[in-house]
Amino acid sequence: MENNKRRILRLDVSDFLEMRPLNEVGKSFKGQSRNISPMGICFSSGVEWRKGDVLLINYFIPDDFESVKLKTVVIWSEFIDPDKGYFCGAQIIEVEKEKEEKFNNYYAQKLRS
C-alpha cells in the first residue's frame, strides 16, 4: 500500500478552503491547500485535525465563483508553528457528483501548466 501513495502526481497549489467536521453544521474553518491529486489533498489549517477525522471541504478553484465539495478523511496532521498552524494530509473519499468533472479538469489543467 505504501507504494500506491505516490503513483499519482501531486501538484503544488495554494487555493482557499473552508472545512468543517462531517457531524457539525454551521461552524466552518478556513485553510489553504498545499498540494492536490485526484486521490488526496495536503492543506494548512489553524485547527488541529486528527487522524480519522472526516471533513467536508469546500475547495475554491481560482477564477471560479463556486466551490467543489470534497468529503475527506484525515490521514496525518502535524503542528508546524503558531503562525502556520497545522499541515494535514487527507484522502478524498467523495467528490461532489455535479462538480466532479470540474475538479478533475482543474487538476488536468494544472498538469499541463
Tell me the pTM.
0.86
pLDDT in tens, the chain (113 residues): 344 455 677 889 999 999 999 888 778 999 999 999 889 999 999 999 999 999 999 999 988 878 999 999 999 999 999 998 999 999 999 999 999 999 999 988 888 88
Q: Given this model, what pLDDT does residue 4 score?
A: 46
28/78 Cα distance (integer angstroms): 20
Class of domain 2-100: mainly beta
Question: How far apart, in whole angstroms, are the C-alpha atoms of residue 108 and residue 94?
Answer: 18
pLDDT at 7: 67
